[in-house]
Amino acid sequence: MNRQLACAVDDLAPGESMTLEGDQIALHRAEDGTFFATADSCTHEKWSLGTEGEIEGDELVCPLHMARFELSSGKPLCLPATVMLATYQVEVDGDQVYVLSQ
């Protein structure tokens, strides 16, 4: 298991997303302050959800063709996405945010 330092808690405002170093993982912060990590690339086509994705409630929207995913599970909620988005465990340790991946 790889524990990657993502950012400090205050580096990501609620409702925002960022792509982590390596470009494979996106970190999202829901409006209530909860962090989620998913694959960076939309499963419909290759599009960065860390850079371009939009958070609406507990859903992540890909603005290219408006696919929606459940933030917590990566489950696709509408077309054109039909494939699950990979999700990763997030740990908040003090004021640092870590993402656990294989």
Using the rule CB under 6 A, is 67 a contact of ligand FES?
yes
Among 51, 38, 19, which Cα is nearest to 81's? 38
Using the rule CB under 6 A, is 84 a contact of ligand FES?
no
Shortest approach of ligand FES to residue 88 CB, angstroms?
Answer: 19
- Strands of 9-72 (E only): list them: 17-19, 25-29, 35-39, 54-56, 59-62, 67-70
Using the rule CB under 6 A, is 48 a contact of ligand FES?
no
Both tokens of 13, joined, read 């405002």
Using the rule CB under 6 A, is 47 a contact of ligand FES?
yes
Using the rule CB under 6 A, is 45 a contact of ligand FES?
yes
Both tokens of 50, joined, read 């860390």
- Amino acid in position 55: I
- Amino acid in position 28: H
Using the rule CB under 6 A, is 60 a contact of ligand FES?
no
Using the rule CB under 6 A, is 86 a contact of ligand FES?
no
How many residues comprise the chain?
Answer: 102
Q: Which one of 15-23, 26-34, 58-66, 92-100 is the stretch in contact with ligand FES (CB under 6 A)?
A: 58-66
Q: Which residues bind ligand FES (CB under 6 A)?
A: 42, 44-45, 47, 62, 64-65, 67, 80-81
